[in-house]
Amino acid sequence: MIVTLIRLLILYVLIVGCMRLMGRRQIGELQPSELVITMLLSEIASIPLENTDIPLLNAVTAIVTLTALEVLLSVLNLKSDKARRLLQGNPLPVIWDGKPIQTTLKKLRLTIEDLLEALREKDVFCITDVQCAILESNGRLTVQLKPNLQPVTPQLMHIQALPKGIPCPIIYDGKIQPDHFRYCGMSDEKLQAILSQSGVRAEDIFLLTVDTEGHVHYIPKEDNHA
C-alpha cells in the first residue's frame, strides 16, 4: 500500500509538471496531437499503479518522452506552416451567406444535424441568420451573424465609448497578490494607503480589486461566528 501511494505521488507531481510544460489549454481546446498525448499520459501513469511489479522508471521515461515530443511538435508548429497544417489541420468555412457548404460538410463527415446543434449552442436557431461559420482546427464552431442581426456596438452607433477600468485582484481571502500589482499600477505603499483609508486589514478582506482607472472595490470576510 505504501509503495502504491509513493508511486501515485511521484506520478502525480510528474504529470502536473508535464502538463504545465505543455501549456494551459482546456480539454475542449486541445489539438488532435495534444489530446492523443494527454490520453496516453493518463494510460501510461495507470499501469505502474495497477501493477507494482512494473518498474516505475519505465513509466517515468515514457511520460518524459511524450512530453518532450509534444513540446518539440509545438515548436515545430510555430516554425513551419506545413507542419501546423499537417498536425492540426486548417479552419474550414461550413456556412457562407446563410447557406451550408455541402462539399465541406461531406469532407468533414459532418451532418446537417450536427451543424444545427452546434449553432444552437451559440444561441443561433436559424441557419439563414449566419453570415459565416468556420469550424476551427480544435473542433469549435465560430459564428458571425449577418450585419443586421449583430449586437449593437458604440462603433456602429457612432458613440464615443467611455473608458472602463480593468479590475485587478489584489487580495484573495486575506492574502496579498503582489504578482498582480503591475497590471494596475499598484505598489505596497498604495495598497497600505487604500487599506488605511478604508479602515480594514488585508487579512479581513475576502476580495479586493483595483481597476486601471484607480477604482477600489472590496468584499470583507464573513464572520464565521455570527
Q: How many CA atoms lie within 13 A of 15 on its CB side?
A: 17
* Average pLDDT per block of 10 residues along the chain, 226 residues long: 78 78 59 76 84 84 86 82 75 93 91 93 94 88 91 80 79 91 88 91 93 87 64
User: Quick one: pLDDT at residue 42?
Assistant: 83
pLDDT score, position 226 = 42
Q: Which of 51, 26, 22 is nearest to 37 (CA)?
A: 22
- CA distance linking residue 57 with residue 38, whole number of Å: 19
The whole-number pLDDT of residue 31 equals: 67
Q: What is the pLDDT of residue 75?
A: 84
Q: Determine the pLDDT at residue 53.
A: 82
Q: How far apart are CA 127 and CA 144, in angstroms?
A: 11
Q: What is the CB-side half-sphere exposure of residue 207 using CA atoms within 13 A?
A: 6
Which residues, at least 6 apart from 171, have a Cβ–Cβ distance to it below 8 Å?
A: 177, 202, 205, 207, 208, 218
Which domains does the chain show, CATH number per domain? 2-86 (no CATH), 92-149 (3.30.240.20), 167-220 (3.30.240.20)
Q: What is the pTM of this model?
A: 0.61
Contacts 24+ apart (CB under 8 A), 35-44: 37/66, 37/67, 37/69, 37/70, 40/66, 41/15, 41/66, 41/67, 42/15
